Amino acid sequence: MSSVAEYLTQIKDLTIVPPVLISILSLEDDNELSFGELEKKVQSDQILVARLLKLANSPFFSRGNSVANMKQVITRLGFKTVRSMVAMAMTDSLFRQGNYKKFRDEVWDHSIAKGILAQFLCEEKKMRKEAELSLTCGLMQDLGKIVLNTIDRAKYVEVLGEFQTTDKSMYDLEKEAFGVDSVEMGAAAARLWKLPDQIIEVIEDKSKKPEEQSVLGQIIGFGGIVARITSHGKKEPDTLSIYESYQTIFGLNKDQTPPLTDVYGEKLKTNELYQFCSTL
């Protein structure tokens, strides 16, 4: 069995997380300087520019006038939306390293749904600051799975297969196969690549009980549980009990009709950012 340190040695020279993505995730809120930096960084990736232009001119965002450059795209969509979409498009390239159905369904689709569902909670609870971070944190929380899959894809295929067909937890299966789990690996890799502290904390929160997590970790955790309940990832034996813990933490109405999970599930289907993912 290998250790976290040994795996870090294996991956330290790999460009698993693009430097452009790290720098974009680290940008401050939308001031004039950050606006210009975002424009400059996005323009270094022509495929990304093409994707964003396509979205900005789509029926979701079009105002009847087409846009032709990144300055106009950022103006139309807003700094935070563009930053989230950049993170989404660029993390798609990370998840494609495991481009097989089990990985796409259990890791990529779950991570996207988790981040967007977490945003819905933030909107409902008027948590503006957390809403700005929830999508990127939701995407990056499963970084450790990407790393383990990169280290040994065949072994991770087996882990996912056993996870989907048994009641064993993902963490236990990862430990059995790799000697470490994806939370340990993800947090260590995030530190290695100097990702923002909020992302590292949210990764570490994943292995904690809901009441022991940071506020942002609880928001992302809630999004992840709702994602599983709405069929974005496997629903595990303790999914509903964990959801009830988050209901208590956030003071949600447990007798709401229709249930909040149904409401959020329907909102997710028509969410423009989620639909953007289907074009990636």
Q: Tens digit of pLDDT for each residue in 221-273?
A: 999 999 999 999 999 999 999 999 999 999 999 999 999 999 999 999 988 77
Q: What is the pTM of this model?
A: 0.84
| Residue range of the domain that includes 120 | 4-17+98-277
Average pLDDT, the chain: 86
Rounded mean pLDDT, 51-69: 77
Task: Say how far apart CA 269 and CA 57 lie, in whole Å.
Answer: 20
Please check the confidence at residue 280 and state whether its pLDDT lies above 80: no
Name the DSSP class of 234. Answer: P
Highest mean pLDDT among 5-9, 142-146, 259-263: 259-263
In a domain, 273, yes or no: yes
pLDDT at 49: 83
Rounded mean pLDDT, 78-99: 71
Condensed to tens digits (0 to 9), the pLDDT of residues 150-195 reads 889 899 999 999 999 999 999 999 999 999 999 999 999 999 888 8
In a domain, 38, yes or no: no
In a domain, 211, yes or no: yes
**CA torsion angle 185 188 194 196 (round to 10):** 80
pLDDT at 88: 74
Looking at per-residue confidence, does 94 or 134 come out higher? 134
Closest CA to 162 of 144, 179, 174, 180: 174
In a domain, 36, yes or no: no
Residues in contact with 17: Cβ distance below 8 Å, sequence separation at least 6, in sequence order: 94, 143, 189, 193, 195
In a domain, 257, yes or no: yes
pLDDT at 116: 92
34: burial class by Cβ within 10 Å (0-12, 13-18, 19+)? Answer: middle
Q: Residue 136 is part of a domain; what is its CATH number?
A: 1.10.3210.10
Please check the confidence at residue 279 and state whether its pLDDT lies above 70: no
Task: List the single range of 24-33, 65-74, 128-137 with lowest mean pLDDT.
Answer: 24-33
Residue with tokens 């991770």: 156
In a domain, 200, yes or no: yes
In a domain, 40, yes or no: no
Considering its fold, how many domains does the chain have in total?
1
- How does residue 103 score in pLDDT terms, banded at 50, 70 and 90? confident
pLDDT at 38: 82
Instruction: Let me know how many helices (H) and strands (E) the chain has, helices first.
Output: 18, 0
In a domain, 55, yes or no: no
